[in-house]
Chains A and B, each alone.
Chain A
Amino acid sequence: MAVEALPATAVSTTPDHEPQGRFKKFLPQYVAISPFFVLFAIFGAFPVLFSIYISFHSWNGIGEMKWVGLEQYTYLFTDPQFWAAIGNTLIIWVLSTVPMLFLALVIANALHNTVRFRGFYRVAYFIPNITSVVAVTMVFGSIFSNNFGLLNAFLQSVGLNKIEWLSQPWGIQVAIASIVTWRWVGYNAIIFLAGLQAISADVYEAAKVDGASSVQTFFRITVPMLRPVILFTAITSTIGGLQIFTESQVLLGDTGGPGGAGTTIVTYLYKSAFVDNQFGYGAAVGWALFVLIALFSIINWRLVGGREKS
C-alpha cells in the first residue's frame, strides 16, 4: 500500500505533468509488473483474438486462409452434430454435477465433525483430483468394459444380466459422469469444508439453545451460510463440466463412441480442428462454447446467489 501512496501524492502535486514523463517516472514499476502482461499478451490474449479471426475463415492449417464471413457460424447453427454435442455435454454435466455437489456437501459435513484422522481423510478425498485423468479414465474403462468389466463381473455374480455400458448412449454418459464425479467430489468437499469452518460457532450454539434438530441446523443454518461457497463450486463445476474432454476422448476416441453419445462440445471442437483440419470451424465451436458457459454462469449466479438481494 505504501508504494501506491507515494506516486499518488507525486501526481497530485504536479497536475500538469506530461504523460510521457509520468511513464518514465514509473518505468521501474511498469517493468516490474510487465512479465505477467507480456506473457498474457503472447499466450493469452493473442490466441483468443486470433481464434476470433480464424473463425471467420476457412483454413486447413497449412494453405491459404480463405475469408468466409459468418459461414462457419451459420453452418454451426444448422449442424445436427453440434447440437447433439451440446445435448450430450448437458446430460453428462447434470449426471455428474448434481451427485457430485450433494456428495461433496455430505462428505464436508462428515469431515467437519470428524475428530480423529482429520488430516488423513482430507488428503484421501483430495487425491483423486490430482491423479492423472488419463490414468483414471483407463481404470474406469476397465470397470465399465463390455467384455471384461468389473461392473459386469459384479452384476453377473449377483445373478443379473451384464450390461453393454460402452455400446449405448446412456451407459456411455453414466460412465463419463462417474469419472467426473469421482475426480471432483473430494475437491469440492475440501472447499465446502473451508466454508463450514468459516461459520462461527456462535450461530450453531444459538440454534442449539433454541432447540433446533441437526437436520434443521443443516438446512436452516449451514446451507444458507454456505451460499457463496456453493455458488463458487456450482460455477466452477459448470465451467469444468461444459469443457469435458479427456474422459470422453480417452474412453471412446475421437468419435465419441457408438452413436457419438460421448461427443462433448470440446471433443467436437478437437475433432473439427485437429482431426478434420477445419480450424475455422473449430474456432467457431470454441466461441459457441464460450457463449454457452457465460450463459450458464449467469443462470447459476441468479439461481444460487440471487436470493441474497431480496
Chain B
Amino acid sequence: MTLSRRGFLGLSAAAAAAGLTGCGSRSSLGATDELTMWTWTGSVNDGLIEQASKAIQGSDKRLLMTRIGSDYKTKVLTSLAGKSLVPDIVAMNDDVATYFPNADQFIDLHTLGADDLKSQYLEWKWKLGITPENRMMAFPMDTGPTALFYRRDKFEKANLPTEPLDVAEAASDWDSYIELGKKLKKAVPGSVLTDNIASAYRYGLSQQRQRYMTPDGQYIGNGDHIRQVWDTSCRVIKEGLSANAQEDTTDVDAVVNNGRLAAFIGAVWWAQLGPKNAAPETKGNWRVCATPGGAGNRGGSFLAITKYCKDPEAAFAFISWLESAKNQAQAFLDPSLFPSTPATYEDPLLNEPDPFFGGQRIVDVFGESAKAYPGTYFSPYDSIIGTPLVAELVNVEVGSKTPDQAWRDGQARVERELTRVGAI
C-alpha cells in the first residue's frame, strides 16, 4: 500500500483524536476485566504470572503484567501524579518507605484482611510495609538476608578454616573477620574482603537495629551505631582489604572474575549478580556461612494496591496467592528471590544442593539469617541521608579525605538536605 500525504495526515489526525479521547475519563489502567500490574524485570516468576493472566483465582478478573525496563520508580510516580491510567498493582523495592508520605495513594491492606496472613510471614518483613501511622501500604515479596560468601579454594591455600561452620566461628564479628582477611591477604596476595568501601558500609548498616531515623521522625544518623559502622568500613580500607572497585562500574564484576574478591558479605541476591554472572568458572569454589557480626538484610521488595484499583479484593487475592509460601518457592528457583515466608525454607525445592556452592544447601544459611535478623525501621528520608554519607566514604577510599573529615562533611550535607525537605 502506498501512503499518500493526505492519507497519512488523515491517519495521524485519527490517531491523535483516539489518543486524546482514550485517556482522561478512566483512572485505572487496562480493560474492566483486567487487573494491571507493573514491576521490573526479574521480580516475579513468569510461570505464575502466566497462570494469573488466564484467570485470578477466586475472582472474575485476569492479570495483565507489564515489565518496566528502566526508571521504574519515575514511571510509577508519573502515573500516580497524572491520576490517570494508574496500574492496579505496583511493585516496590526496598525503598518502600519513600512512598510513606503518600501512603494515601494506596489501599490500606488491613482493610482487605491482610492480618489473617500475618503469621505466615517474617515479622520484620511484614512491618517494613506498614507506615508509622499503622497503615499497611505494601505486602511482602522477597527478602535479602545476608551471609558471608567465601572462596573455599583460596581459604584452603591460606591455611584458613574451610568448612562453613568453622569459618563462621573464626569470623564471628567484624574484628575477627578483618583479622582473617589480613591472614588471607598475606597468604594469597591481592585478596580482598570487599569490592569497595560502600559495600562494607551498606552491609554493616544492614545488621543494625536502627538506621538513620526513628519512627517518630528524629534524626539519629549521627549516632554511635552509625559511627561504629563508619569506622569499621574505614578500617577495612586502611588494612588494604578493599579492591577500590567503585559501585556502578564494571570493575565490580572484574574483581569477582579475577579472583581478588576472596570473601564478601553479601545479600542472597548477590550470588546471582556476583559470582554466577561475573565468574561462572568459579563454580564449586564458593561457600556461604553466617554473617560476621550477626544477621543482616539488604534488599527485598513489596507489592501495593493503588487507590485507583478496579477491584481491590481480586487484587489482594492475587497478591496473597502470588506470595504464598508455596509460590514463593517457585520464585526462588526463578528468578532467585528469597522467600519472606519461613515455611518455604522447608520446601524440597529450596533444599536441593547447589553445585555452584559445592553442593552446599545455601537455604540453611540464608534461612537462618532471615529468621535471626532483628528488623529495623526505614524512614522516607533514608536515601537522602545515605547518599551523601556513602559519597563521603568513597572520598576516604580514594584517599582524598580522612575518616573524621569525611564524617563531618557528610553530616553537614545530611543536615542541609534534611532541613530543606523539612524533615528536621
A interface residue numbers (CB < 8 A to B): 35, 58, 60-63, 75, 81, 138, 141-142, 145-148, 164, 166-168, 251-255, 257-260, 274-278, 281
Contacts and interface: CB of A to CB of B under 8 A. Distances in A.
A164 B383 CA distance: 28
A276 B384 contact: yes
Contacts of A148: 250-251, 254, 258
A138 to B, nearest CB: 8
30 contacts: A60-B101, A61-B78, A61-B80, A62-B77, A62-B102, A63-B101, A138-B250, A142-B250, A145-B250, A146-B249, A147-B243, A147-B251, A148-B258, A166-B249, A167-B397, A168-B398, A252-B246, A252-B248, A252-B249, A253-B247, A258-B394, A259-B391, A259-B394, A259-B395, A259-B400, A260-B391, A274-B74, A275-B387, A276-B387, A278-B420
Contacts of B383: 275-276
A274 B251 contact: no
B18 interface: no
Contact of A166 (B251, B260, B391, B397): B251
Contact of B398 (A142, A258, A275): A258
B162 interface: no
The prevalent SS among residues of B at the interface is: helix
A134 B190 CA distance: 32
A254 B248 CA distance: 9
B391 A255 contact: yes
A277 B98 contact: yes
A79 B251 CA distance: 31
Nearest to A72: B420
A75 B77 CA distance: 24
Question: Counting chain A CB atoms within 10 Å of each CB, which of B78, B251, B383, B390 scores highest?
Answer: B251
Contacts of A258: 246, 394-395, 397-398, 400
Contacts of A274: 71, 74
Report the contact-size class of chain B (Cβ under 8 Å from the partner).
35 or more
Given A61-B78, A62-B81, A75-B420, A255 B105 contact: no
Contacts of B255: 147
Nearest to B247: A253
Contacts of B247: 253
A37 to B, nearest CB: 14
Given A148-B258, A167-B397, A259-B394, 18 more contacts: A58-B421, A60-B102, A61-B78, A62-B105, A63-B101, A81-B413, A141-B250, A147-B255, A147-B260, A166-B251, A167-B246, A257-B394, A258-B394, A274-B71, A275-B387, A276-B384, A276-B387, A278-B421
Contacts of A164: 244, 398
Contacts of B65: none
Contacts of A253: 247-249
Contacts of A81: 413
Question: Counting chain B CB atoms within 10 Å of each CB, which of A145, A167, A252 scores highest?
Answer: A167
B188 interface: no
A62 B398 contact: no
Contacts of B279: none
Interface in B255-287: 255, 258, 260
A164 B254 CA distance: 14
Contacts of B49: none
Contacts of B254: 145, 147-148
B85 interface: no
Contacts of A58: 421
A116 B183 CA distance: 64
Contacts of B246: 166-167, 252, 257-258
A190 B421 CA distance: 48
A278 B383 CA distance: 13
Which 5 residue pairs are nearest across A and B when measured between Cβ atoms?
Answer: A253-B248, A61-B77, A147-B254, A62-B102, A258-B398
Interface string B76-88: 0110110000000
B400 A146 contact: no
A150 to B, nearest CB: 12
B343 interface: no
B102 A145 contact: no
B187 interface: no
B407 to A, nearest CB: 16
A81 B392 CA distance: 13
Contacts of B78: 61
Contact of B258 (A61, A142, A147, A166): A147
A182 B19 CA distance: 41
